[in-house]
Amino acid sequence: MINVLIVDDSAVAREFLMHTINSEPEFEVVGMAANGEAAIKRVKELKPDVVIMDIFMPIMNGFVATQKIMEKNPVPIIITSASYDISDTEKSYKALEAGALVIVKKPLGEKKPGSEKEIRELKKFVRLMSEIKVATRWRGANIQAPSNTFTKEENGRQSASIKLIAIGASTGGPAVIEKIFTEIPKDIPVPIVVVQHMAEGFMDSFVTWLGNKTGMPIKIAQHGELLLPGHAYFAPDKYHMEVGINDRIVLSNDEMTYGLKPSVANLFKSVSEHYGFQAAGVLLTGMGVDGARELKLIKESGGITIAQNEESSIVFGMPGEAIRIKAVDYILNPNGIVDLLTQLVKDK
């Protein structure tokens, strides 16, 4: 049985979510709370397997509550948001930084447009998140921990040969991506391409928020677009993003890979084919195996490959699989990833 705590200031929303969750035989709503302060107490008392958390609540919002819960009584937290608008979702992304695992569209009622899909998504993530064993160990100190130093000669490579950085991430990725883009040089002399698994509809506002927060030119990729140094390009919803000839982005509506679209696998495979030894591939925290075998293709083509370490990963599935199959040159925490990427391109 998966025990769920629902946190929302709307009595109507709480009742609907309780009905939705309890409709599944393996789910049980063990408690509800109307604000973040009450949620903290209920988590301590009830020890739920998963928390469904609203953001905009009186007394204490979901962002602060998430932060306090993850510091003292860590539990998988799913953020629900009724809006995709950047002005309404900024706190949701802050909650992801604080330790929430995923953000999904809040289902507002069975008869609302799109509600069936939203309900399926929520139930899917309740199942997935319940399997994750979170702990305070991946927050704070591990993300900020001192990292190694690197020289150009390591791995027999010269940093000036790197012409592209490719990043793949899933659950827990937004917080690490935010850290990387905040701390790498703003004039980094290569383009960066990113596949981040995220609930449909939130990528546009996430990219806008990330660009505003970091000051980097960050955008949703467009088909045929020229990759420019110092710019970052994120795969859009429902399309695979690849890199093609002449430094151009290729978007495709091909079948899902590993049940995902966009997939890290499609991006990394194209990077290995078109950039080879001139690429750096980075696989961050996430469930499943998406991108692990294809990271090995980048390694085999002479590129640099990096995986996030277990201590700083919320979910060690994707980077762990890459390490298992020997696809990785460097295993690093987020600080180390920033340091290495900066070193690899600093002489361009």
What DSSP letter does each residue of 207-222 carry, written as one string? HHHHHHHH-S-EEE--
Residue 16's Cβ-side half-sphere holds a number of Cα atoms within 13 Å equal to 17
Is 0.95 topped by the overall pTM?
no
Distances 158 to 161, 185, 306 between C-alpha atoms, Å = 6, 19, 16
The pLDDT value recorded for residue 102 is 84
* Residue with the larger pLDDT of the pair 141 and 24: 24
Average pLDDT over residues 50-77: 92
The pLDDT value recorded for residue 202 is 85
* Residue with the larger pLDDT of the pair 311 and 239: 239
The pLDDT value recorded for residue 131 is 82
Q: What is the mean pLDDT of the chain?
A: 88
Q: How far apart are CA 98 and CA 164, in angstroms?
A: 30
- H-type alpha helices, 99-241: 115-130, 141-144, 173-183, 203-214
Residue 113 CA, chain-centre distance (Å), reads: 27
Tens digits of residue pLDDT in 146-159: 344 444 334 445 44
Which pLDDT band holds residue 97 (cuts at 50, 70, 90)?
Answer: confident
The pLDDT value recorded for residue 151 is 40
The pLDDT value recorded for residue 144 is 39
Residue 326 tokens read as 């020997």
Average pLDDT over residues 118-129: 90
Question: Which structural domains are found in the chain, ordered by start?
Answer: 2-134 (3.40.50.2300), 152-345 (3.40.50.180)
pLDDT over 50 at 294, yes or no: yes
The pLDDT value recorded for residue 160 is 52
Residue 184 tokens read as 């790498």
Tens digits of residue pLDDT in 176-203: 999 999 999 999 999 999 999 988 888 9
The pLDDT value recorded for residue 278 is 96
Q: What is the DSSP letter of 5?
A: E
Please report, as a single letter, which amino acid is at residue 287. Answer: M
Determine which of 95-99, 166-170, 339-343 has the lowest per-residue pLDDT on average: 95-99
| Phi, psi for residue 191 in degrees, rounded to 5 | -75, 155
Asked if 287 and 146 touch (Cβ cutoff 8 Å), the reply is no
Average pLDDT over residues 25-29: 97
Which residues carry out catalysis?
Answer: 170, 197, 290
The pLDDT value recorded for residue 145 is 37
The pLDDT value recorded for residue 98 is 76
